[in-house]
Structure formats: C-alpha cells, structure tokens
Amino acid sequence: MINKDAIRAVVKAQHYAPFEVLGPHVTEAGLCIRTMQPHAAKAEVIEAATGVAQAMERIHKDGLFEITLPGREPFAYRLRMTRSDGTGWEVADPYACPLQITDFDQYLFGEGTHYRTYDKMGAHPLTIAGEAGVHFAVWAPNGARVSVVGDFNRWDGRSHPMQSRGSSGLWELFIPGLKVGDLYKFEIKSREGSLMTKADPYAFSSELRPKSASRVCDVRQHTWRDSAWLEHRQRTNWHEQPISVYEVHLGSWRRVPEQRNRWLTYRELADQLIPYVKDLGFTHIELLPVSEHPLDGSWGYQTIGYYAPTSRFGSPEDFAEFVDRCHQAGLGVLVDWVPAHFPRDGHGLAYFDGTHLYEHADPRKGEHKDWGTLIFNYGRNEVRAFLLSNALYWADVFHIDGLRVDAVASMLYLDYSRKAGEWIPNEFGGRENLEAVSFLKKFNEVVHTEYPGFLTFAEESTAWPMVSRPTYLGGLGFDFKWNMGWMHDTLEYFTKDPIYRKFHHNHITFSLLYAFTENFILPFSHDEVVHGKGAMLAKMPGDHWQQFANLRLLYALMYAHPGKKLLFMGSEFGQWNEWDYHRSLDWHLCQYAPHQGLQALLRELNGLLRAQPALHQVDFSWEGFQWIDFHDSQQSVVSFIRRGRTPGDDLVCVFNATPMSRAGYRVGVPGAAPLVCMLNTDDAHFGGSGTAPVLRVQPERTPWQGQSCSVVLTLPPLGALILKPVVGA
C-alpha cells in the first residue's frame, strides 16, 4: 500500500524519484501499476498480448490512478486515458521503461571527462522495449523536482516528472510516443520552492526567437559527402598552408528585400555564398556564432543554445548541408565559439536549478558587468564537460573544421575590466584565472587529439605568453592567435593622411619585432567596422581614388606580411557604410568599376597566397622574412623579402604609402636574376592609374641595402609591387 506522503509528493509534483511510485511494482498483493494523469477522467491498462483493458482506480482527485493485479508478474502494457469530454489517448507507460544513463556515464560526467555528453544529455529519439519515443536527460543537482513539459502534456509538470540519478545531479526520463519536432522544456522546482521553466542546455534545435522552447531533433540524419575533404584536412600541416578566411554574419551577408527583407536560409546561402567565396579564392569561411541566441543585436555572442544551430536560417539538417557543400567545394568552415560568458535570459543557463550552477555565485568571479552576462565556472567538472563536449560536438556532428574562441583575454584574467576590490585573486595572489587556463589547455588537447587537423584560433588581445604553443611546452595549445596589435597599428597608420605617415612609420614596422612569438592570423574583422569605427574603405584618407588606392595598398601589405589572413564580409568590395546586422551588404556597389577592381585585387591576392610558397610556407619564423629597408620614413616606403623553403620561391615586396609616384627608386635585391612583377596594386585592372607598369626588371650588380644587387623602380602612387626572381633565366 502506497503511503500518503508518497501520494502527496507525486500529485504535488514534488517527488524526486517517481519510479518508486509510478509504473509497475511487484507487491505482496500482486502487480501494482500506477500512473499520474492530471488531465484524465479515467484510465485503463491494456495488456499488449491480449488487448484486454482493465479500469484503474482513481486514488487521488488530482489524477493519480492505480490498479493491482493479483498473482501477475510484470507484462507489456499500454495506458488508455479518457477526458471528461469523452476524447482520449493511448500511450506506453514512461515509468515502465528502463533508465538509460549508466553508472559509468555518471562517473565520467562528475569527473568532467565525459567528452560526449551530448550523446546522453538532452533529447534523443530512441526505441526502448519496442516503444518509439524520446529520452530526456538534464543536469540539475539542486533541483527538488524536474519534469519534462510540452504540448504533449499541456506544459503540466505533474505529468512527466523525471527520475533523479542521485549524487550525479542528473535526471532522466523516456517518454514513449514523442517524436522529432516536438517542443519541450524542463520545469524545475528549486529546493526553496520556486518554479522555473528552462530550455534544454543540450537542445539540438530550438524555436525561433522570441519563442524559446527546445525542439526534439535527430542531428545525425544527414548523409555526408565530404570524406575526401576530411581526409585532406587530417593530413594537412595547416601552419605551412595558405589560410585566408572570409568572416561572415549569415543574417546580413545578403537578404531578400522583396520578401520583407528576410534572411537567406542555410541552403540558399550554400547556393550563393559558397560560389562567391570560392570565386574570390578564400580558403575558409568563418561564421559569427551560429549557436542559438535570443538577441539579434548580440550577433550570436550571447549564446543560449550551445548545441543548437540557430533556427533563423533553417534546421540543423539544413546547416549540415551547408557545411557539407562547403567541404565539397574545397572550403573549410570555422565557427565562432563563446565559452567566456552567457546571457541572463530566464529560460537559459542562468540560475538554472535555483542555484548558481553554470556560473560562479560570487559576482566578483561570475559577472561581466560590461556585457551584462555571466561567466562560466570553469572549476566545476560538469561545466567543463558541458563546454568540452560542445567543442567536440561541432566537429563530430557538423564536421566543423575549427573554432575561433571569442574573448579569450576576458577568460584569462580575474581582473579583466574590473577595478580594485571588484575581483578575487587566485590561490597564489595573482590575477590569472587558473581554472580558465586549465580549461583552455584541456580544450585544445582534447579537440586536437580527437580530430587531427581541427584548428583553434584565440581572439586574445594581451601579451599572455605562448597562446599558440603546445601545452606540453607550457602554452595554451591554440593553433593560431589573432594579431590584434598588428591590426591596431596598421589601421592607425593607414587612417593618417599620407603627409603625416612619415611620423608614424613605426606603426607598420613594429609588428616584425614580435611577429614570430606566436602563430598569428592577421584580422580585419567585424569589430573594426562597427560602433562608429567606419567601414574599411571609409577609414582611408583622401579623395575617392586615393581611398581605394590606400585600401588596395593595405590589403597587399596584409597578404605580404607574415601570418594567416582574415577579412570581414563587405570589406572585399569596398562597403562604404558600417556593417549593420539588420540589413544586407551594399551589393549594388559591385556594379561600379572601383569596387569591381577591389574585388579583383582580393581575387588576385588570394591566388598569389595559394600559388606562392613564400607567402604561406614559413609564416611563423624569421627564416620566411627579411627586411630590405624599413628606415625610409621620409618617403613612407618599406621593402622586404618573403621566403619559402626553396630559394627560388623568394618574393621582393615594395610598398609606397604616399600618393606620389617615385621614379628612380633603388631597392636592394638578393641576386642578379631578372624579376617579374607578380602584383602591382596600381594596375588599371584593379582601379589603379596604370601609369607606371612594372613587368620585368633586370637587377644591377650594385650592392644596396645589405643585398648583393639592386633594381631601379618607379614606385606607383599608394601602390605595392610584388616581384619574383626568374630562376635560371
């Protein structure tokens, strides 16, 4: 006989272990079956083998039903419920289905070493004991009760309470009859009695904002056709390969104005974005965060659904198709990843089970006041498992080729953007966030071990040492680090009127003092074309012709400088307006010759980057770079040599940052072989003046600038020349 306290706990939705009350139980009196059906007027048990239905007794007015079958052992059955209006439904009993999370799963999860938690957590369509349905699991260790709610139970937490798995803090339940597409959330009652309805942290799909329910999804239904790409990725040494990244915000790259300015879908983006990027010669597409986020204006950097590709552009299957088609076209796909912080939205991770679960309780460690967000508790094993599994999830389920980790500096320092007294020192009295450092190292170790060829990028703006060095040498383990110093100094230089550049010459030479301390990628990202900073073209001084010439010169310097490359969308054709996430890029500009010329230059630069080993093979060592002259500040000219592994791969690069054409300019070169011009940014094809073409020059045996020979050139105005020796000529 069930006691009154247990009945009260079930009907009031307060029982943490409903399997102890509900479902089939062998008792001295026989087989007892109980079900909680708050929306049923009557309930019956239907024996699967015979089809015989037997009425259950209502033992509590709120909808608890029971039947005792003397002398019976457990058997397969279904439940049939009838509403007061005579309508009804029939289901298998969730509490007759076995639990799925093993003791080993719980152990690894608690240890923080379960790196495939997404295979167990969240909502998974399964067939158990012959019944198709969905298995749910969630981590809420401080919840007094957790239920699955949705349209299928009128969002009533009394109908499907989950089973607590004890000290692991996990809760689970299999609900027969549910299917892909069904909406759900978790209703959590805290130990203090408050009631919260939360989206699934491991949801694989979500409703489109402002709605926030999670959606049952089978994310492994896509049939992949990218095996050749994945094999190529795994065997490639990316440090010695050309990498030029086209950074994209999917919601504003291109829209459909005639259809209420709607977004393109993932499949439409595959049709339009992939051939565009491929034609321009970029090697990778980098997507601003595609994880589900409630606020468009956060650009995805305030993530709610870490495991759900945003529903703005389609389904997870549609996203998989986009990635697959990128790979088939020979393009890698990088995704911005945000393990640094998360928003406070009520349906999200914040205060998840009535306690500070994913975030630190102390605001001195748990809040980003600048962003109004919360900081993950990297010292908690289950939080580490959540994040580490998420990194692997994108590589595993969606074949993503790399992650760019956002806001790494904010993770590394306890006093990041904090005043004295607003932060807590670490155990040694320092400002370093040791738990975050440990997490980042583990992240890089795990993803590189599990997926060779997978790339990680750190957006890290400080002088933290060895960001892109292996963890076994004491580094953080990233493949590449964003060179924010180069970006800042170079833009500072190019925004100056050329007449003043001679006073700021060090801004384009200083980066070579530290260029090989890390594996750098040179970024002109979305952050540089918003918030009043102006578009790349609009930053340039002078009249329109000079602005385009300056930008062509800047891009040529970027591609010749050691390091991999990244450019934000719109910058390749000379967008005049700042980026606005609300609307499309200004594609109409591409009908005009100057903008077409800029596109042509980017196409040529990407072609050179791929074809010339000197521009990509030795990016991270002095062996790949030699100054010819960095002293000519008065004429704002710099020159250097880029080298590959083979001497015949050398390139001579000369840059004139003034609008004056400089005739008779002597440049030292490393030998007597004739030089052919590989690039002249002043070429008329790119929108330049075309007045001083350089096709082929013969060096003189006149030593100059530390070189054995020299050439006399006419330097184009605001122009760059890249010359290559003709070996054996």
Whole-angstrom distance, CA of residue 613 vs CA of residue 617: 5
Q: Are 431 and 415 in contact (CB under 8 A)?
A: yes
Q: What is the mean pLDDT of the chain?
A: 95
Q: What is the CA radius of gyration of the chain?
A: 31
Q: How far is CA 11 from CA 39, 147, 158, in A?
A: 12, 13, 7
Beta bridge partners of 197: 187
Closest CA to 455 of 207, 617, 238, 249: 238
Amino acid at position 140, single letter: A
Whole-angstrom distance, CA of residue 559 vs CA of residue 382: 43
pLDDT digits (tens, 9 = 90+) for 500-518: 999 999 999 999 999 999 9
Q: Which tokens go with 419?
A: 């005043």
- Per-domain residue ranges of the chain: 4-96, 103-215, 243-613, 614-725
Q: What is the DSSP letter of 424?
A: -
Higher pLDDT among residues 116 and 647, named by residue: 116
CATH of domain 614-725: 2.60.40.1180
Q: Are 229 and 328 in contact (CB under 8 A)?
A: yes
pLDDT digits (tens, 9 = 90+) for 155-192: 999 999 999 999 999 999 999 999 999 999 999 999 99
pLDDT digits (tens, 9 = 90+) for 362-394: 988 988 888 899 999 999 999 999 999 999 999
pLDDT digits (tens, 9 = 90+) for 538-555: 999 999 999 999 999 999
Residue 433 has pLDDT above 90, yes or no: yes
* Other CB atoms within 10 Å distance of the CB of residue 1: 8
pLDDT digits (tens, 9 = 90+) for 281-335: 999 999 999 999 999 999 999 999 999 999 999 999 999 999 999 999 999 999 9
pLDDT digits (tens, 9 = 90+) for 655-698: 999 999 999 999 999 999 999 999 999 999 999 998 877 889 99
Cis-peptide, bond into residue 294, ω within 30° of zero = no
406 tagged catalytic: yes
Q: What is the DSSP letter of 641?
A: E
Q: Are 618 and 237 in contact (CB under 8 A)?
A: no
* Other CB atoms within 10 Å distance of the CB of residue 665: 17
Q: Are 114 and 202 in contact (CB under 8 A)?
A: no
Whole-angstrom distance, CA of residue 35 vs CA of residue 59: 10
Catalytic residue among 44, 382, 459, 683: 459
Q: Which residues contact 187 (CB under 8 A, 6 or more apart)?
A: 146, 147, 148, 149, 155, 157, 195, 196, 197, 198
Residue 171 φ/ψ, nearest 5 degrees? -130, 145
Homologous superfamily, domain 4-96: Immunoglobulins (2.60.40.10)
Whole-angstrom distance, CA of residue 495 vs CA of residue 528: 13
Catalytic residue among 406, 489, 604, 650: 406
pTM of the model as a whole: 0.94
For residues 606-630, give the mean pLDDT: 97
* Topology match between the domains 4-96 and 614-725: yes
Residue 6 has pLDDT above 90, yes or no: no
Percentage of residues of the chain with pLDDT beyond 70? 100
3-class secondary structure for 226-248?
Answer: CHHHHHHHHHCCHHHCCCEEEEE
Per-residue confidence (pLDDT) for residue 647, from 0 to 100 = 81
Say which CATH topology domain 103-215 has: Immunoglobulin-like (2.60.40)
| Tokens 């590449």 belong to residue | 480
Residue 215 φ/ψ, nearest 5 degrees? -125, 130
Q: What is the DSSP letter of 73?
A: P
Q: Are 394 and 403 in contact (CB under 8 A)?
A: yes
Per-residue confidence (pLDDT) for residue 1, from 0 to 100 = 64
Q: Which helix (H) or strand (E) holds 275?
A: helix 266-280
Range 35-50 burial, b when 16+ CB lie within 10 A, else e: bbbbebebbbbeeeee
Query: Is 243-613 CATH 3.20.20.80?
Result: yes
Whole-angstrom distance, CA of residue 7 vs CA of residue 726: 90
For residues 255-283, give the mean pLDDT: 96
Q: Which tokens go with 204?
A: 């694989």
Q: Which helix (H) or strand (E) holds 393?
A: helix 381-398
For residues 207-219, give the mean pLDDT: 96
Q: Are 35 and 41 in contact (CB under 8 A)?
A: no
Residue 719 has pLDDT above 90, yes or no: yes
* Other CB atoms within 10 Å distance of the CB of residue 672: 13
